[in-house]
Amino acid sequence: MSKKETISRLEKITQDTYKYGFTTDVSAETAPKGLNENVIRFISNKKNEPDWLLDFRLKAYKHWLTMKEPHWAKVSYSPIDYQDLYYYAAPRQKEGPKSLDEVDPKILETYEKLGIPLQEQKMLAGVVAVDAVFDSVSVATTYRARLAEQGIIFCSMSEAVREHPELVKKYLGSVVPYTDNFFACLNSAVFSDGSFVFIPKGVRSPMELSSYFRINARNAGQFERTLIVCEEGAYVSYLEGCTAPQRDENQLHAAVVEIVVLDDAEVKYSTVQNWYPGDKEGKGGIYNFVTKRGLCHNRAKLSWTQVETGSAITWKYPSCVLAGDDSIGEFYSVALTNNYQQADTGTKMIHLGRNTRSTIVSKGISAGHSNQTYRGLVKMGKKAQGGRNFSRCDSLLIGDKCGAHTIPVMESGNLSAQIEHEATTSKISEEQLFYCMSRGLSSEEAVSLIVNGFCKEVMQHLPMEFAIEAGRLIGISLEGSIG
Amino acid sequence: MALLEIKNLCASVGEKEILKDFSLTIEAGSVHAIMGPNGSGKSTLSNVIAGNPAYKITSGSIQFKGKDLLKMTPDERANEGVFLAFQYPVEIPGVSYATFLKQALASKMKYFGEKPLDAVHFIKRLKVRAQALGVTDEMLKRPVNVGFSGGEKKRLETLQMGFLEPDFCILDEMDSGLDIDALKVVSQGVNIMREAHRSFLLITHYQRLLELIEPDVIHIMIDGHIVETGDKTLALRLEEKGYASYR
């Protein structure tokens, strides 16, 4: 069957699907429901991809068929029907609000509480898109020209495949191979878009690069793929923000982020993740199953900072492979769960080179009926002479129906390496609450203030504006967590 | 109308009744002192007025500016003008004094439907008062009550009081753990706040605080209620005789 035939057949199937209850004309923008080789070819075709990329996808798909969904994480959910998802959904013209007036006032209220400026509100509400990945397609990237002057490439993954195939081909899958794990493998087969960043040798990015991810379509999985390459001596700070509208059903989000940090380069990667967490009874919300990993060459530094308040389930371990000598890995994390949210998150620091150093600071806050696990691996390889790690995991409990668990794994392959681990678990005390309230703070303001204080060490690693937004987000996410 | 009127108040912690048929009226612009031995219920009284949920009110009433105080949450009481300077101020790690006070002021302004003060005016307002109490910028950047000496904590409680400009201030054993110099600074901070619309309730064991902050009325509290009320000479007599004669 020729490609053309495939597409027309698939479009017919899609139109059939349309008959089953969709009110807007989505035929051209959505792949048929379910996953098979044809769907992968459809996606690849949609994007006019070169053969090598289609091969990469198909190999991944074939491998994925041999894999089993992992269940070692301390989370529980009903089985995911991978044939009941859409693997490609582009923004649809007729759907979505045209102006702020049409946006759900509740969503706007949330943005207002977050203190997000109007332009950004429009962007998040899907009215205007700037630097945004909307469902599966990267909509726009601003400041391109200014960055291009210095040889910096910041564009969507699809564009990168078209315009810089040699770079994508060289680095895609080099840090997270498609065989890595079930969800990364799925992503490799069906990823539809994401961001691509390339900072050439010796260049410091003059601005922070940011991308907003948003899931809008119903039943659509989002499989974005981000690739950052920072050449020798270069520097970039990258920000990632995530939102999703409220839906009753769960939505799958299985992203892959790969970062290559060459000799003497530095990458700061900050995330504020605010996917829809589900309602108070635990209905709906995003399944956030993400693989993030960076590879550090000699004297390179990679710093992950994350504030995770959203998603029904989070399964995420941003990691550093410290392959080069004297390379540095950092992980600063705040994870906040409320209601029935579940989070199993942490990091992996794989020390391979000599005198490699890593720092882990994790702050977990559990409220409501939520459950949270810190899971970390610090591994010192045989050749990681003089490797050092310091880890600190603090958990804060709000109420008596939530849970916090800490599972740090340490493996040392040589005697000269040092690994330190500290952990605490505490509760917000009645005395603290009363003290704050006696100064005029409402109980919610008091909890928010105390929790922000608890997270301060991590928040200060976020870029200024992001930190303010994240602080407010924590306040909002805690609403209803007290009496 | 009295600023604060407590009538026949009974309150307990757990099973234990601590305030027993306690009554007290405080007019606007006056300074009252309550003296009494350990365990007489002085601190319970201050916590009950401020609304600490650890204490249970079993009967009686408290009117503040003619409103039913017992129906209000602790933050509502604070925003209506009640301030408790804690005997043991509570630590809030990671939250600086400046942030704490900014939030407290913002909450109060929100309560009255006003917009929060911008950063420049806030800092100006805070610094003027901080300097008067010998509170340095460095102290304001440190987390609330973490790693401060007893004297510093009391100075910072006084700063909060001056900053939030309440109408009714309760000073719960302000003098405990203070050397005479610190006591003078804190007392001065209180004295400059004395105004026709503002009242104070000083809770103390000792006469020396009352030499620095001169009260209009002194009450002796024993076993959960007031047993004698008088002018400032009562404290002197008490110093001589002790509490024994009241038991």
pLDDT averages per 10-residue partition of chain B, 247 residues: 93 92 95 92 95 94 96 96 95 93 93 88 89 90 92 92 95 86 89 93 89 93 93 86 80
Q: What are the sequence ranges of the domains in chain A?
A: 50-429
Among A74-83, A88-97, A276-285, B212-221, whose mean pLDDT is lowest? A88-97
| Distance (Å, whole) CA B213 – CA A392 | 48
- Tell me the CA distances in angstroms from B5 to A376, B25, B69, B202, one per residue in order: 58, 4, 10, 16
B180 φ, ψ to 5°?
Answer: -65, -35
A152's CB contacts (< 8 A; 6+ apart) are A197, A198, A199, A200, A203, A205, A236
B112's CB contacts (< 8 A; 6+ apart) are B79
Is there a contact between B92 and A430 if contact means CB atoms under 8 Å apart?
no
pLDDT digits (tens, 9 = 90+) for A199-253: 999 999 888 887 765 544 555 567 889 999 999 999 999 988 765 555 566 778 8
DSSP characters for B101-163?
A: HHHHHHHHHHHTT-PPPPHHHHHHHHHHHHHHTT--HHHHHSEETSS--HHHHHHHHHHHHHH
> Is B116 near chain A, with CB under 8 Å?
no
Cβ neighbours of B86 in A, within 8 Å: 435, 438
> Is B86 near chain A, with CB under 8 Å?
yes
pLDDT band for position A12 (50/70/90)?
A: very low
pLDDT digits (tens, 9 = 90+) for A366-376: 988 898 999 99
- Answer whether residue A4 shows pLDDT above 60: no
Residue of chain B whose alpha carbon sits nearest to that of A458? B94
pLDDT digits (tens, 9 = 90+) for A258-311: 999 999 999 999 988 887 778 888 787 888 899 999 999 999 999 999 998 888
pLDDT band for position A474 (50/70/90)?
A: confident
pLDDT digits (tens, 9 = 90+) for A155-207: 888 889 999 999 999 999 999 999 999 999 999 999 988 889 999 999 998 88
Q: Which residue has the tokens 């990237």?
A: A141
pLDDT at A6: 40
- Answer whether residue A19 shows pLDDT above 70: no
B163's CB contacts (< 8 A; 6+ apart) are B101, B104, B105, B125, B126, B129
Is there a contact between A449 and B83 if contact means CB atoms under 8 Å apart?
no
Mean pLDDT on A315-328? 96
pLDDT band for position A71 (50/70/90)?
A: confident
pLDDT band for position A22 (50/70/90)?
A: very low
pLDDT at A125: 47
Is there a contact between A453 and B103 if contact means CB atoms under 8 Å apart?
no
Instruction: Report the residue from A443, A445, A454 with minimal CB separation from B103.
Output: A445
Cβ neighbours of B89 in A, within 8 Å: 435
Cβ neighbours of A438 in B, within 8 Å: 50-52, 74-75, 77-78, 83-84, 86
- Look at A143 and B231; give whichever has higher pLDDT: B231
> Is B103 near chain A, with CB under 8 Å?
yes
Instruction: Report the residue from B50, B86, B92 with minimal CB separation from A450.
Output: B92
pLDDT at B30: 95
Q: Are B64 and B82 in contact (CB under 8 A)?
A: yes
| Distance (Å, whole) CA A444 – CA A434 | 12
| Relative orientation angle of helices A37-46 and A51-65, to the nearest 10 degrees | 150
Kindly calculate the radius of gyration of chain B based on its CA atoms and give it in whole angstroms. 18
Percent with pLDDT over 90 in chain A: 44
Is there a contact between A453 and B78 if contact means CB atoms under 8 Å apart?
no
| Residue B176 tokens, joined | 């405990």
Q: Is the torsion defined by CA of B130, B102, B141, A454 positive or negative?
A: positive
Is there a contact between A456 and B94 if contact means CB atoms under 8 Å apart?
yes
| Distance (Å, whole) CA A169 – CA A56 | 10
Residue of chain A whose alpha carbon sits nearest to that of B50? A438
| Distance (Å, whole) CA B204 – CA B176 | 8
Angle at A110 between CA A402 and CA A218, to 5 degrees: 80
Residue of chain B whose alpha carbon sits nearest to that of A442? B75
Is there a contact between A453 and B73 if contact means CB atoms under 8 Å apart?
no
- Look at B170 and A313; give whichever has higher pLDDT: B170
pLDDT band for position A467 (50/70/90)?
A: confident
CA distance A430 to chain B (A): 8
Cβ neighbours of B54 in A, within 8 Å: 430, 434
pLDDT at B191: 93
- Look at A35 and B30; give whichever has higher pLDDT: B30
Is there a contact between B54 and A430 if contact means CB atoms under 8 Å apart?
yes
Cβ neighbours of B107 in A, within 8 Å: 439-442, 445
Domains of chain B, first to last: 4-246 (3.40.50.300)
Q: Is the torsion defined by CA of B171, B173, B178, B179 positive or negative?
A: positive
Mean pLDDT on A14-18? 29
- Answer whether residue A18 shows pLDDT above 70: no
pLDDT at B142: 94
| Distance (Å, whole) CA B205 – CA B35 | 6
Instruction: Report the residue from A431, A449, A453 with minimal CB separation from B90.
Output: A431
Burial class (CB in 10 A: 0-12, 13-18, 19+), A88: buried
Beta bridge partners of A198: A153, A229
Residue of chain B whose alpha carbon sits nearest to that of A440? B75
CA distance B94 to chain A (A): 4
CA distance B8 to chain A (A): 24
pLDDT at B207: 83
> Is B1 near chain A, with CB under 8 Å?
no
Percent with pLDDT over 70 in chain A: 77
Is there a contact between B74 and A457 if contact means CB atoms under 8 Å apart?
no
> Is B164 near chain A, with CB under 8 Å?
yes
